[in-house]
Homo-oligomer: A and B are copies of this chain.
Amino acid sequence: MDSQQFREAAISSIDEIVKYYDTIEDRRVVSSVEPGYLRKLLPEEAPQNGETWADIQKDIETKVLPGITHWQSPNFLAWFPSSSSYPAMLGEMYSTAFTGAAFNWVCSPVVTELETIVLDWLARAFALPPCYLSTGPTHGGGVIHGTASEAIATVMVAARDKYLREATAHITDDEEREDAIALRRTKLVALGSVATHSATKKAAQIAGVRFRAVPVHAGDGYKMTGAELRNTIAALHAKGLEVFYLTATLGTTDTCAIDDFDSIADVLDEIAPAATLTSEQKRDGQGEIWVHVDAAYAGAALVCLEYQHLTPVLARFHSYNTNLHKWLLVNFDCSVLYVRDRTWLTDALSVSLAILKNDHTDSGLVTDYRDWQIPFGRRFRSLKVWFVIRMYGISGLQAHIRKHVKLAEDFADMLRTRPDLFEIVTGPRFALTVFKLKGKSQAATVQEVNALTKKSYDDVLTDGQIFMSSTVVGGVFAIRHCPATPFVEGHHVKKHFEILVSIAEKTLAEA
């Protein structure tokens, strides 16, 4: 394929993509293929000789699209969105064209520099405390990771190593120190709440430390509180274990709860007061607890002034992440991670090879982001972020968030018009409403109501017009409605509600 053949193929692909987006609403939102569908359609071995683009392109509609679940459909209401936008798609086109394994500054300086700049732009747009700016007082800064899971694994490793480094600072012999670190590591516990995304538990598996979950309660709206955190830490201390890390969440996966940051910070100041811990105390088992705030989905809302009261307390924590690919119009993958002190990452993750030696890195003037992450090479992901911010402007991003928040409020109001059918479990919070069916009578047990809700949920999936996810919170089976995709409008949400009413009425009538 030469450049002119590519040009023709690319234009024809753009035409197909435009048509796909223009008619996305007409497609069944969830793929209905059976497991193994594709193996039946493809040869067992790679072709020996090249095929034509015309033959390949045909297979998009006939073999690929049947297996796509349409995340940009206005009828996609499951999990959290993974949003797409035209400016981000243009960014991906250019970044693919400028391909390279940009593992250090000289590999393509713009890949590093644009990332630092747009992450500073975003930190200001989100009203994050200045400690998270690359130019801030504590030498912090932001970096683009693929997913929140990578960001959390990375900061947990950095937190573990910071804790162990401080605990063994008095040992000067290298081998003795390695032994002391290995032994001390056996006591370490990472915490999240029971509502924290599984990424934290997985990060603990990766980092080779224990994981424990702090209980949350319906009465607190499923948020983690300082009081429960204190209890959990006390119980672990009683067993001789040491807590070095905590994920606090701004917008939990199930219900978009916001953990009680103020009381969490207060409890940690009381238990492990970072500012006054002496090196002797750190040696003897009282290290600072690193708090990472996971705002994977809801953090996007911080572009709106009405949510920015949430951010000053973040200065009391250590790191923070938001997935721009969820609710901020940057195509997957793009999770922005901020740390208050970037040396915490580089101390844990830097290694050096002779082949990578270059004057710029050695001068200390440049950032080598490979030491801020698990992968070595990097894609040019800041380009799509830059395009999205510039084409929408902050006001456009605010309008995007506010539209969805309003749609969810309207949806919750609709649910409230049918108290005979529905009951809201939580929300709407950040465009997410979690609800269940009403029991047939006041005397219905939790199990009976769960069964009814589950039946309705299954029927919604079978019906196939809309796609939602379910969850179980506090023993209650519930349905999640999250209308936060780019093309969703009021009339779609009205239709979602009508479908739900019709199915719920049927479920209750048959029960």
Interface set of A (CB-CB < 8 Å, partner B)? 1-7, 9-11, 13-15, 17-18, 20-22, 30-31, 33, 35-39, 42, 44-51, 53, 55-56, 60, 63-64, 66-69, 71-72, 79, 82-90, 92-94, 96-101, 105-111, 113-114, 116-118, 120-122, 124-125, 146-150, 153, 157, 160-161, 178-179, 182-183, 185-187, 197-199, 201-202, 205-210, 253-254, 325-326, 331-333, 348-349, 351-355, 357, 360, 363, 365-366, 374-377, 379, 383, 387, 389-396, 469-472, 480
Contact = CB atoms under 8 A, between A and B. Distances in A.
A96 B18 contact: no
A230 B4 CA distance: 56
A97 B355 CA distance: 37
Contacts of A20: 97
Contacts of A389: 46-47
Contact of A84 (B51, B97, B107, B197): B97
A348 B99 CA distance: 33
Given A110-B68, A354-B471, A117 B39 contact: yes
A208 B44 CA distance: 41
B146 A375 contact: yes
8 contacts: A46-B390, A49-B396, A56-B390, A66-B110, A67-B109, A96-B331, A150-B375, A332-B379
Nearest to A86: B6
By secondary structure, the A interface counts as helix
Given A208-B160, A332-B101, A353 B64 contact: no
A375 B101 CA distance: 19
A314 to B, nearest CB: 19
A208 B49 CA distance: 46
A251 to B, nearest CB: 13
A186 to B, nearest CB: 4
Nearest first, the 9 closest Cβ-Cβ pairs linking A and B are A67-B110, A6-B86, A71-B100, A182-B186, A208-B208, A38-B113, A149-B376, A50-B393, A46-B121
Contact of A470 (B120, B331, B357): B357
Given A31-B106, A332-B101, A36 B351 contact: no
Contacts of A210: 178, 182
Given A67-B109, A100-B71, A121-B46, A93 B377 contact: no
A199 to B, nearest CB: 6
- How many monomers of this chain does the complex have? 2
A113 to B, nearest CB: 4
A218 B61 CA distance: 55
Contacts of A110: 31, 33, 38, 63-64, 66-68
Given A93-B14, A389-B47, A469 B60 contact: no
A169 B6 CA distance: 56
Contacts of A72: 99
Contacts of A5: 86
Nearest to A371: B202
A394 B389 CA distance: 42
Given A379-B332, A393-B50, A325 B209 contact: no
A124 B332 contact: no
Given A9-B86, A150-B374, A333-B377, 12 more contacts: A4-B18, A36-B365, A37-B109, A38-B113, A46-B394, A68-B100, A101-B333, A149-B376, A185-B186, A186-B186, A202-B374, A206-B207
Contact of A376 (B147, B205, B348): B147
B31 A109 contact: yes
Contacts of A66: 110
Find the residue from A47, A97, A185 having the highest chain B CB count within 10 A. Answer: A97
A385 to B, nearest CB: 10
A150 B348 CA distance: 16
A365 B36 CA distance: 8
A21 B1 CA distance: 13
Given A67-B108, A157-B205, A36 B124 contact: no
A390 B117 contact: no
B109 A35 contact: yes
A75 B187 CA distance: 53
B125 A393 contact: no
B149 A375 contact: yes
Contacts of A64: 94, 98, 110, 114, 383
A48 B393 contact: yes
Contact of A47 (B18, B30, B390): B390
A379 B366 CA distance: 29
A339 to B, nearest CB: 16
Contacts of A37: 109, 113
A384 to B, nearest CB: 9
A96 to B, nearest CB: 4
B18 A14 contact: no
